Structure 1
Amino acid sequence: MNHVDQYIVTFPEDTQQILQQIRQLIRTASPDAEESMAYGMPAYKLNKKPLIYFAAYSKHIGLYATPAAHQQFADELAGYKQGKGSVQFPLDQEMPLDLIRRIIEFKVQENQKKKKKLNMDSSKGTRS
């Protein structure tokens, strides 16, 4: 059992199921992402850069995907409590798994674009 598994099993069964669903969405969208724990929550890196984090609380699931992702989905996230790069999905409402999937996919694409740009800049002998 790894650290993320150990984290997930500390929650009630219904919350564990949601956490596992989010975890699977990340694994499907980014099979190469590195899974670890950071800031006390499951964390994923792709190309050595932060991809996404998530956490469970007593009344919500927190998704931490950076401000750019939240700007991209601003209309759909409008009904949820948000921070600069975070959103809270209440546990007493249906979990918007399709929206979460699309946020993850957006983050994967954003990460890949940054990697391509870095590779192009490196081949020119410059760094951004």
Structure 2
Amino acid sequence: MTKKDNHDTYIAAAPEQLRAMLGQLRVRLARALPDAEEVIKYDMPGFQIGETIIVGYAAFSKQCGLYVDPGAIAAHADEIASLKLKASKTGVTFSGNRPVPDKLVEKLATSSRSKKGL
């Protein structure tokens, strides 16, 4: 697999059915974290402030993941569950059939930032 060096190449290399959703997620995260820098870390696109990664996202074959501080997931666990989204300690997986709503993306990003003390 070719190494991706920026968000554009990462999204372009993702499965076709996920590209638009990833592009929208990128825009939502950039709006929620306007002072964050776009980075590629651990072969995943993310947003970083200083040396701290606030949020990352990834594409898989049939779904995507949004990765944040564990405290952000815990703080919004009820909302995540009510939307019937699948969550782990540090992330939420979603698909085109069940995307993460814009408001929740914003809440998770800002909460992750807060939990990291930034």
- C-alpha distance 83-97 of structure 1, shift in aligned 2 (>3 A): same
Tell me how many residue pairs correspond in the alignment. 112
Tell me which amino acid in the other structure corresponds to 1:97. D
Aligned match for 2:97, one of 82, 92, 108? 92
Structure 1 counterpart of 2:88? 83
User: What stretches of structure 2 of length at least 5 have no aligned partner?
Assistant: none
Aligned match for 1:53, one of 35, 56, 74? 56
Structure richer in helix, relative to its length: 1
The TM-score normalised by the length of structure 1 is 0.76
Within 1, Cα distance between the matches of 2:15 and 2:92?
Answer: 21
Structure 2 counterpart of 1:36? 39
Q: 1:43 aligns to what SS in structure 2?
A: strand
Is contact 1:80–1:88 with CA below 8 Å preserved after alignment? yes
For each residue in 1:49-107, what CA deviation from the matched residue of structure 2 results, as whole angstroms up to 9, or x when unmatched? 11000011122110110210001101011222222111111232244222112211222
Determine whether 1:106 maps to 2:111.
Answer: yes
User: What stretches of structure 1 of length at least 5 have no aligned partner?
Assistant: 116-128
Q: 2:38 aligns to what SS in structure 1?
A: strand
Q: Which has the larger radius of gyration?
A: 1
- % identity of equivalent residues: 32
Tell me which amino acid in the other structure corresponds to 1:33. A
Tell me which amino acid in the other structure corresponds to 1:104. A
The TM-score normalised by the length of structure 2 is 0.81
Tell me which amino acid in the other structure corresponds to 2:68. A
Larger RCO of the pair (alpha carbons < 8 Å, separation 6+): 2
Tell me which amino acid in the other structure corresponds to 2:70. P
Within 1, Cα distance between the matches of 2:87 and 2:114?
Answer: 22
Within 2, Cα distance between the matches of 1:6 and 1:90?
Answer: 20
The CA deviation at 1:13 is 4.6
For each residue in 1:19-67, what CA deviation from the matched residue of structure 2 results, as whole angstroms up to 9, or x when unmatched? 1111111211222211111121102111321100001112211011021
Within 2, Cα distance between the matches of 1:46 and 1:94?
Answer: 26
